[in-house]
Amino acid sequence: MKNVPRLLTILGVLLSVIGLVLWLGAAVDKGQPAYFWGLWLLVAAVGVHMVRVYLVSGRRELVDLIRRSARKMMVPLLGVGAAIVIGGILMLVTGYDPVRAYGALIYGGLVRNWHISVLNAAPLIFTALSVAFAFKAGLFNIGAEGQYYMGAMAATWLSLRLTLPGVVSIPLIFVFAGLFGVLWNIVPAYLKVRTGAHEVITTMMLAHTARYLSPIFIRANGGDPAFSTHPYVTDTIPETVWLPMFKDFLPRANYRVHTGILLAVVVALVIYYILYHTTIGFEIRAVGENKDAARAQGISVGKNIFRALLIAGFLAALAGFNQVNGLDHRLFENLQAGYGWNGISVALLAGGHPIGVVFTGLLWGTLDAGGQYMSRTTQTPSAIVEIVKGTILFLVVARYIYTAIGNWYRRRKQKKMIDSSIAAAEQVGA
Partner 1 sequence: MAQTVLETRHIVKQFPKVLANDDINITLQEGEILCLLGENGAGKSTLMNVLYGLYQPTAGEILLDGKSVAFSSPRDAIDKGLGMVHQHFMLVETLTVTENIILGAEPGKGPQIDYKTARRQVQELSDRHGLRIDPDEKIMNLSVGLQQRVEILKALYRHAKILILDEPTAVLTPQEVEELFTVIRGLRDKGVSIIIITHKLDEVKAISDRVYILRRGRVEGEQRTADVTKEELASIMVGRDVVLTVERTSRKVSGEPVFSIEDLVVRDDRGVPSVNGLSLEVRPGEVVGIAGVDGNGQSELAEAIMGLRPVESGSMRHLGEDISHLSTRERIHRNISYVPADRHRFGLVLPFTVAENIAIGYHDRAPNSKFRGWSLDYAGMTKHAEALIGDFDIRTSGPSATAGNLSGGNQQKVILAREFTRDPSFLLVSQPTRGLDVGAIEYIHSQILAMRDKEVAVLMISLELEEIFSLADRILVLFEGKVVKEVRPEATDEREIGFYMTGGKERTA
Partner 2 sequence: MFDYDLIVNLLVAMIRNATPIALAAVGAVICERSGIVNIAMEGIMIVGAFVAAIVAGATGNPWIGLLAAIFFGGFFSLLHAFATVSLHLDHVVSGAVINVLAMGITAYLMILIVGHPGTTESVPVSLGAYRWAIPGLSRIPILGRMFFDQTPIVYFSFILVAFFTWFLNRTKLGLHVRAAGEHPLALETIGVSVYKMRYFGVFVSGLVGGMAGAYLSIEGNVSFTEGMTGGRGFIAMAAMISGGWHPVGAFLAALFFGFADALQVRLQVFDTTNIPEELFIVLPYVLTVVAVAGLVRRSRPPKAVGTDFMIERTDD
Interface residues with partner 1 (CB under 8 A) are 276-283, 285-286, 289-290, 292-300, 407, 410-411, 414-415, 418-419, 422
Contact between 257 and 326 under an 8 Å Cβ cutoff? The reply is no
Contact between 383 and 150 under an 8 Å Cβ cutoff? The reply is no
Q: How far apart are CA 246 and CA 25, in angstroms?
A: 6
Helix (H, G, I), strand (E, B) or coil at 233: strand
Residue 414 binds: one of partner 2, partner 1, none (C-beta under 5 to 8 A by kind) = partner 1
For the CB of residue 73, give the shortest distance to partner 2 in the complex, in Å.
20
Number of residues that bind partner 2 (CB under 8 A): 43
Q: How far apart are CA 161 and CA 70, in angstroms?
A: 50
Give 36 or 276: the residue with its C-beta nearer to partner 1. Answer: 276
For the CB of residue 234, give the shortest distance to partner 2 in the complex, in Å.
15
For the CB of residue 315, give the shortest distance to partner 2 in the complex, in Å.
18
For the CB of residue 272, give the shortest distance to partner 2 in the complex, in Å.
22
Residue 198 binds: one of partner 1, partner 2, none (C-beta under 5 to 8 A by kind) = partner 2
Span of 166-174, 245-253, 355-363, 398-406 interacting with partner 2 by CB under 8 A: 398-406
* 228 touching partner 2, by CB under 8 A: no
| Residue closest to 102 by CA, chosen among 346, 349, 373 | 373
Residue 163 binds: one of partner 1, partner 2, none (C-beta under 5 to 8 A by kind) = none
Helix (H, G, I), strand (E, B) or coil at 332: strand
| Residue closest to 335 by CA, chosen among 123, 148, 200 | 148
Task: Please name the residues in contact with 243: beta carbons below 8 A apart, sequence gap of 6 or more.
Answer: 170, 258, 259, 260, 263, 322, 325, 326
* 332 touching partner 2, by CB under 8 A: no
For the CB of residue 138, give the shortest distance to partner 2 in the complex, in Å.
10
For the CB of residue 354, give the shortest distance to partner 2 in the complex, in Å.
18
Contact between 148 and 319 under an 8 Å Cβ cutoff? The reply is yes
Residue 404 binds: one of partner 2, partner 1, none (C-beta under 5 to 8 A by kind) = partner 2
Q: How far apart are CA 286 and CA 105, in angstroms?
A: 41
| Residue closest to 110 by CA, chosen among 35, 41, 40 | 35
Query: Identity (one letter) of the amino acid at 9?
Result: T
For the CB of residue 192, give the shortest distance to partner 2 in the complex, in Å.
10
* Cβ burial 231-255 (10 Å sphere, 16+ → b, else e): eebbbbbeeebbbebbbeebeebbe
For the CB of residue 79, give the shortest distance to partner 2 in the complex, in Å.
12
> What are the φ/ψ torsions at residue 225 (nearest 5 degrees)?
-60, -25
Span of 171-179, 242-250, 360-368, 391-399 interacting with partner 2 by CB under 8 A: 391-399
Name which position in 236, 341, 377, 378 contacts partner 2 (CB under 8 A). Answer: 341
Q: How far apart are CA 9 and CA 406, in angstroms?
A: 39
Of how many residues is the chain composed? 430
Contact between 107 and 373 under an 8 Å Cβ cutoff? The reply is yes
Q: How far apart are CA 233 and CA 215, in angstroms?
A: 9
* 183 touching partner 2, by CB under 8 A: no
Residue 40 binds: one of partner 2, partner 1, none (C-beta under 5 to 8 A by kind) = none
Residue 336 binds: one of partner 1, partner 2, none (C-beta under 5 to 8 A by kind) = partner 2
For the CB of residue 180, give the shortest distance to partner 2 in the complex, in Å.
17
Considering only residues 130 through 149, tell me which ones interact with partner 2, judged by CB under 8 A.
Answer: 140, 142
| Residue closest to 198 by CA, chosen among 307, 303, 292, 309 | 309
Name which position in 6, 68, 72, 208 contacts partner 2 (CB under 8 A). Answer: 208
Say how many CA atoms lie within 13 Å of 404 toward its Cβ: 4
Give 37 or 140: the residue with its C-beta nearer to partner 2. Answer: 140
Considering only residues 358 through 387, tell me which ones interact with partner 2, judged by CB under 8 A.
Answer: 381, 383-384, 386-387
For the CB of residue 410, give the shortest distance to partner 1 in the complex, in Å.
7
Given the rule CB under 8 A, which residues bind partner 2? Answer: 94, 140, 142, 187-188, 191, 195-198, 200-202, 204-206, 208-209, 212-213, 215-216, 219, 336, 341, 344-345, 348, 381, 383-384, 386-387, 389-391, 393-394, 397-398, 400-401, 404
